[in-house]
Amino acid sequence: MTNKVQIGKTDLVVNPVGMGTNKIGGHNLFPNLDEDAGREAVRFAINHGIDFIDTAYLYGKGRSEELIGEIVEETGKRSDLVIATKVSPVFTDDGMSNNNAPSYLKQEVENSLKRLKTDYIDLIYIHYPDEDTPKAEAVGALKELKDEGKIRAIGLSNFSMEQIKEANQDGYVDVYQGEYSLLNRSAEKELLPYAAESNLSFIQYFPLVAGLLTGKYNKDSQFNDMRGGLPYFQGEAFANNLEKVEQIRKIAYEKGTEVANVVLAWYLTRDAIDVIIPGVKNAEQVQSNLKTNDVSLTSNEIETIDRIFKR
């Protein structure tokens, strides 16, 4: 049995290993996604103890939510699950912008409810800040939805430190979602300490750096998708990253586990991190990431990993 954890100050209690779903229905972000593999990933996850699912309107302009809604209905396990989604993006012919106006956020939550085939959403994030709406007013709209029972917790994503403080002036924000990984530790400067002090749960995106921290790549790997454009995968930086991953591989080997599980288990030792949402696109990846729950790192291993990635 997995020990469940509470997400920050919310009443959401989940398996610490959740799932990210931008590759489940996120056709506008990633080419050639297989929807059946995505459906199977969600089905497998729900039937094997994952109860925290992270999605967003942005992922396929609602398609990810629709696929999740379909499988949640099929399994009949809605009440066992904690579903998080995100609103604010607006798509026009000119591309994507964001709107945090209270009326827009409320309308988008209604649309997400329909796609997810549910009458409440456990955690709603404002996906990105807009330029005009006072931050506390935007969060106030979500607080009203919480009071009405339509949502259970309030999150922000991609807000700067100053914007988070402004948005959280009434203490209504429960969760912050931002990029954090062993290869990008900038959140350690301000965001993670603020989250720990203010009892916000920090939920990281990009924890596996698009698969780089699973140990599945080597110096000959070729990238013809968005990975090819990311600095982590280029030239000397890529070679250095691979060398660090090899050091994790040794630790993983000694513990009888995989690189990804050591990396994910390390995140769960951080103060403000209660849960992880590695992105998945098929059931095999779900199964592999779930093994993180079997990994317990010693304080010596935690420090060693810290050191490997600080250099």
> What is d(CA 176, CA 185) in angstroms, rounded to the nearest whole number?
15
Binding of residue 158 to ligand NAP (CB under 6 A): yes
Please name the helix (run of DSSP H) or strand (run of DSSP E) that holds residue 54, with its range, or none.
strand 52-54
Q: Which of 105, 107, 144 is nearest to 125 (CA)?
A: 105
Query: How many binding residues for ligand NAP (CB under 6 A)?
Result: 26
Binding of residue 67 to ligand NAP (CB under 6 A): no
From 57, 59, 194, 267, the catalytic residue:
59
Q: Which of 113, 91, 180, 105 is nearest to 135 (CA)?
A: 105
The binder of ligand NAP chosen from 15, 168, 214, 293 (CB under 6 A): 214
**Lookup: tokens for 54:** 């992270």
The binder of ligand NAP chosen from 183, 280, 283, 305 (CB under 6 A): 280
- Extract long-range pairs of 262-265: CB within 8 Å, 24+ residues apart: 262/295, 262/297, 262/301, 262/305, 263/182, 263/207, 263/208, 263/213, 263/214, 263/305, 264/17, 264/207, 264/208, 264/289, 264/292, 264/295, 265/292, 265/295, 265/296, 265/297
Binding of residue 62 to ligand NAP (CB under 6 A): no
Binding of residue 208 to ligand NAP (CB under 6 A): yes
> What is d(CA 207, CA 261) in angstroms, rounded to the nearest whole number?
11
| Nearest CB to ligand NAP, comparing residues 228 and 299 | 228
194 is catalytic: no
Q: Which stretch binds ligand NAP (CB under 6 A): 39-47, 67-75, 94-102, 285-293?
A: 285-293
* Helical H segments across 76-175, by residue range: 102-116, 135-147, 161-167
Binding of residue 281 to ligand NAP (CB under 6 A): yes
Binding of residue 292 to ligand NAP (CB under 6 A): no
Binding of residue 21 to ligand NAP (CB under 6 A): yes
> What is d(CA 253, CA 250) in angstroms, rounded to the nearest whole number?
5
Q: How far is CA 31 from CA 34, 192, 292, in A?
A: 9, 33, 28
Q: Which residues inside 239-278 make contact with ligand NAP, applying CB under 6 A? A: 260, 277-278
Binding of residue 112 to ligand NAP (CB under 6 A): no
Q: How many residues does the chain have?
A: 311
The binder of ligand NAP chosen from 133, 177, 201, 292 (CB under 6 A): 177
Compute the least distance from the CB of residue 270 to ligand NAP, in Å.
Answer: 16
| Nearest CB to ligand NAP, comparing residues 54 and 274 | 54
**Lookup: tokens for 102:** 């209270």
Chain residue whose CB lies nearest ligand NAP: 279
Compute the least distance from the CB of residue 299 to ligand NAP, in Å.
Answer: 25
> What is d(CA 154, CA 148) in angstroms, rounded to the nearest whole number?
13
Q: Which stretch binds ligand NAP (CB under 6 A): 92-100, 138-146, 147-155, 282-290?
A: 282-290
Q: State the residues that interact with ligand NAP by CB under 6 A.
A: 20-23, 54, 157-158, 177, 205-211, 214, 216, 260, 277-281, 285, 288-289
Catalytic residues: 59
